[in-house]
Chain A
Amino acid sequence: MKTENDILPEEFELIENYLMQNLNDQQRSEFEQRLNEDTLLKEKVVELGDLFNGIKQAERFNKVEEWHAGIVMKNETITPVRFINYRMWMVAATILIFCAGVWLVFFSKNKEEQLFAKYYKPDYGLITPMGASDNYAFNKAMIDYKTGKYQLAINEWQQQLAQGQVGDTLYYFIGSSYLALRKYGDAAINFKKAVAIPGSAFTGEANWYLGLSQLQIGHTKDAAESIQKSTHPKKEALLNELRP
């Protein structure tokens, strides 16, 4: 049985188009006039607006929960200070000495990872204009890159390379995608190709990311050389940390 709060499909579509800003000026104006006169319609618009916001927020919370699980898995969270008794202090001190030993043994490896975590910030990608474009395939892959679908972006851009399109932009973003996937060797290969192209506006940044990739595969000397060639504002700070 139909009640006054039901939203029938046609009315739902109209409200949805209004909220998602898909109406043209005239349609919008007519709809807003109806809104001023119809309290029930206004209530439905508010309700659906909240419903759509709730869906977006629910999904965003799912995403942040996934990221947080990643942090916890890496055991990166700090431990709160709590009151402990003398015996617990002894146990804690023993564990601390043991950990310090382990830390010293593995320090060289951990230091590189720590430096990477400290200095790596992904490239934001390029602006991708919507609609028909002669760069459609490139832009589609750029959207994949920006939405975290790195393998899809790599596949598309490598297809473009296979078709004979060669350039610093392709190599730079294939490298950036591999780096985001933590495939450091593949990232380094592509950044090297990007920096080999003379006059590229990506040279400074490609050298920075090349250095970070080399750092992760243990090529510390090469990494320092690449970072030295980069234009990154934090290059001196990183080079200082790399010095023995």
Chain B
Amino acid sequence: MMNFMQKDTISKESNEQELCVAIRSNNELILSSLYRNNYFKVERYVIENNGSITEAKDVFQEAFVAVWRNIQMHKFSPLSENDFTAYLYQVSKYKWIDTLRSQQRKVLFIQTDVDGMEDVLLNEHDNKYVSLVRKHFANLGQTCREILVLFYFQNQSLQKIALARKWTEATAKNNKYRCIQQLRSLVKTDSI
């Protein structure tokens, strides 16, 4: 058993080294802090470049989730918070320019220093299926949404999920399978 004596300090990794770990393990405290600390800069950028607050919010949320996803998939590993912030800002700018272009709105005055961001958008444009999953996930029943979030997002074990609901592990496994089938079916119907 750990002995908390007078001085029990555990070796503390630097913030920089821990940032990736925190994001990959879905540390909500850190992620929400990163969201709050970066939103206003992007909001200002979008508003100053022909956009509205609603558009700023949409662009920033899309960018934030894209950056989070890229870190989860090890496509990007920020070495510091500054690294994260710079990348998020670049992705947000790229997404806003893309939005303006797709709506044939004025983009002449925007500095396009966003090279190398194409793949961030490309993945999403090419993958309408993921968007449909996101859309129909909201249409599932509450129990299904909870099971799927606990298992796939929070990485909880079936044993723990079953215990919390007084199910057997086999029931939890079966329910998860049925929820996935239901989601597949909703997405398939929409994409036909």
Q: Tell me whether A54 and B130 are in contact in the complex, defined as CB-CB below 8 angstroms, given that A122-B29, A199-B7 are known contacts.
A: yes
Residues of chain A lying within 8 A (CB to CB) of residue B177 = 9, 12
Q: Is B30 touching A122 in the complex (CB atoms < 8 A)?
A: yes
Residues of chain B lying within 8 A (CB to CB) of residue A145 = 29
Residues of chain B lying within 8 A (CB to CB) of residue A134 = 1-2
Cα(A146)–Cα(B148), bound, Å? 21
B108 at the A interface (CB under 8 A): no
Cα(A70)–Cα(B33), bound, Å? 12
A223 at the B interface (CB under 8 A): no
* Stretch of A34-42, A45-53, A86-94, A101-109 contacting B (4+ beta carbons < 8 Å): A45-53
Closest CB in chain B relative to A42 CB, distance in Å: 15
Residues of chain B lying within 8 A (CB to CB) of residue A80 = 47, 52-53
Q: Tell me whether A167 and B65 are in contact in the complex, defined as CB-CB below 8 angstroms, given that A78-B43, A125-B22 are known contacts.
A: no
| In the complex, residue of chain A having the shortest beta-carbon distance to the beta carbon of B8 | A167
A187 at the B interface (CB under 8 A): no
Q: Is A55 touching B137 in the complex (CB atoms < 8 A)?
A: yes
B149-191 interface code vs A (CB 8 A; 1 in, 0 out): 1001110000000000000000000100100110110010000
B133 at the A interface (CB under 8 A): yes
Closest CB in chain B relative to A27 CB, distance in Å: 19
Q: Is A200 touching B184 in the complex (CB atoms < 8 A)?
A: no
Q: Is A168 touching B8 in the complex (CB atoms < 8 A)?
A: yes
B5 at the A interface (CB under 8 A): yes
B143 at the A interface (CB under 8 A): no
Q: Is A165 touching B3 in the complex (CB atoms < 8 A)?
A: yes
* Stretch of A60-68, A208-216, A234-242 contacting B (4+ beta carbons < 8 Å): A60-68
Closest CB in chain A relative to B10 CB, distance in Å: 6
Q: Is A167 touching B47 in the complex (CB atoms < 8 A)?
A: no
* Stretch of B12-20, B82-90, B114-122 contacting A (4+ beta carbons < 8 Å): B12-20
Residues of chain B lying within 8 A (CB to CB) of residue A68 = 35, 39, 57, 61
Cα(A103)–Cα(B35), bound, Å? 27
* Contact for B134 among A48, A61, A65, CB less than 8 A: A61
A138 at the B interface (CB under 8 A): yes
Cα(A69)–Cα(B132), bound, Å? 24
Query: Given A67-B32, A121-B33, A168-B8, 16 other A-B contacts at CB below 8 A?
Result: A7-B181, A51-B133, A55-B183, A56-B69, A57-B65, A60-B65, A61-B65, A63-B31, A64-B65, A70-B36, A71-B36, A80-B53, A124-B30, A146-B30, A147-B27, A201-B9
